[in-house]
Amino acid sequence: MEDIAAERAAKSLLAEHKASQRYKTLAPPQAPATISDAYDIQEKYVALLRGEYGDAVGYKVGLTSATMQAFCGIDHPIAGVVLASRVHRSGATARRSDFGRLGLEFEIAVRIKSDVPITAGSYSAETIAPHIDGVCAAIELVDDRDAGLFQPRRSFACGGQFLERRHRAFGICNDIA
């Protein structure tokens, strides 16, 4: 997707988000035609959010099960960016009024200590463990803006919705033994 088209789509998503408008998938010509287009839009969207929510401090993987992928009409996991002010330690509070239709997702958060070197071979728990700083339970607060999370959506709608959700994670990572 051309930068200008991705930027236009991202600005449209952000304007709808800020106005708390009901979520809807992007319509042509802004709609992503490929997963690559969806990530181009996500990149521009996240860039627009950084001024208000801070730099990227992590990443989120979604649609990791075949069931959820089938539900959303996609055949692979998706990824998103977690921004600094959207991560809170245990004991933090959130105002219900900050959300439209609030949902909870229970997550496993992993704090990375160092980059994992690229290798031609496979990875194992033993080769990855030195690069992990901590693992914890986390709760993601999700606002689907009345999109109807429990209704299947086709194409890249779930990827588009992922761009839109207000992600806030709560948890404390403990050291792993």
The domain segmentation of the chain, as residue ranges, is: 3-170
Instruction: Please name the amino acid found at residue 4.
Output: I
For domain 3-170, is the CATH number 3.90.850.10?
A: yes
Give CA–CA dist 111/83, Å, rounded. 14
Nearest 5°: CA angle at 128, between 122 and 132? 160
CB 146 within 8 A of CB 122: no
Successive 10-residue mean pLDDT values, the chain, 177 residues: 92 87 82 88 93 89 87 84 85 81 83 91 92 86 69 36 40 42
**pLDDT at residue number 177:** 35
**pLDDT at residue number 148:** 62
CB 79 within 8 A of CB 61: yes
